[in-house]
Amino acid sequence: MAAALRSLKGMVGLVTGGASGLGRATAEQRVQQGGSAVLVDLPKSDGESVTKSLGERCIFAPAEITSEPDVKKMKKIQM
């Protein structure tokens, strides 16, 4: 028996590596469950196109998570 999915309505998740693989799957799941996602990935990634495909509850934050200035910028993002 499949477990019931919990609603994430009103919740925002910061998803690193969100343009592909597990990060993308995580962002997709958050949006499907009613939540929002801040998709973080390298500026040259497919982040913009993934964000567009997920709709208005997803935004792209191009960043290098090993860069302290980039991480500080991410902390200021609001949806």
Top-confidence residue, 7 or 30: 30
User: pLDDT tens for residues 31-66?
Assistant: 999 999 999 999 999 999 999 999 999 999 999 999
Does the pTM surpass 0.85? The reply is: no
**What's the rounded Cα separation, in Å, for the pair 43 and 38?**
14
pLDDT for 1: 37
Structural domain boundaries enclosing 69: 12-75
Q: Does 43 reside within a domain? A: yes
pLDDT for 6: 79
Q: Does 18 reside within a domain? A: yes
Q: Does 56 reside within a domain? A: yes
Q: Are 8 and 17 in contact (CB under 8 A)?
A: no
Q: Quick one: average pLDDT of 16-32?
A: 97
Read off the pLDDT band of 4 (50, 70, 90): low
Total domain count, the chain:
1
Q: Does 3 reside within a domain? A: no
Q: Cβ–Cβ contacts within 10 Å for residue 38, how many?
A: 22
Q: Does 7 reside within a domain? A: no
